[in-house]
Amino acid sequence: MNIRIGFWLLLVLMFVSGCTGRQKISSGGNLADVKDTKSRFPAFLVGVWQANAFNWAFKFEPDGKISRLTHTLGVPMKVEEGSYYEQGPENSFGLYVLGPCDTSYDPNSKVLKVSVVMDYFRMEFPTDSIEGSARDVFEGPVSAKDLIWNVKWRSYATVEGASPPDVNEIDANPEILVFRKINLKEFEEHKHQPAPPVRPSGE
């Protein structure tokens, strides 16, 4: 199965099944290793940044760590807690294990780069299940004046039973996202609204 089809199938399943209610699973340890930026993290980046599509949002701390995020899979996460369980309708549920989240900022080019690893996810439905892992990379220049982060997003998702991701194709065809800084209240009230799937070209 083509990885793009697999990825959109994942979104279709999330869109159809929905997610109601969340319950944290005790991970027994810190599964999310969040690393500091090596360079000074500018004050204007501290706070919550939300994308114009695909549900992504990040909360950056003064040291550059990501303390919380909203993932494409629809799970608002406290990074340090690692594992999450979502109960859905008709006995559907999902398990998500967040891995390392890295941030780096280049003050010369004003480029911010974020990498988010989902070590493992599994979603089960009454008639099917899907599992895999993912690494998402966001990179682009940030405007301190306009508080806009123009991003090239590349998602390297591996779905069990599907063909491995075509790294060259993904690298050559990033999604273009625009992040804007929002207030914390908006972030707390942010609901998961998965984007309708788009068929790959040629389908």
Residue ranges in the chain assigned as alpha helix (H): 3-17, 167-172, 184-189
pLDDT value at 122 more than 60: yes
- Can you read off the two tokens belonging to residue 36? 């500091």
Residues 72, 19 contacting (CB under 8 angstroms): no
pLDDT value at 91 more than 80: no
Query: Count of CB atoms within 10 A of residue 159's CB?
Result: 22
Confidence (pLDDT) at 176: 97
- Residue boundaries of the structural domains of the chain: 3-189
pLDDT value at 41 more than 80: yes
**Smallest Cα–Cα separation from 92: which of 132, 119, 128, 55?**
128
Lowest mean pLDDT among 5-19, 85-99, 119-133: 5-19
Confidence (pLDDT) at 75: 74
pTM listed for this prediction: 0.72
Residue percentage of the chain with pLDDT more than 90: 43
- Can you read off the two tokens belonging to residue 175? 């999604």
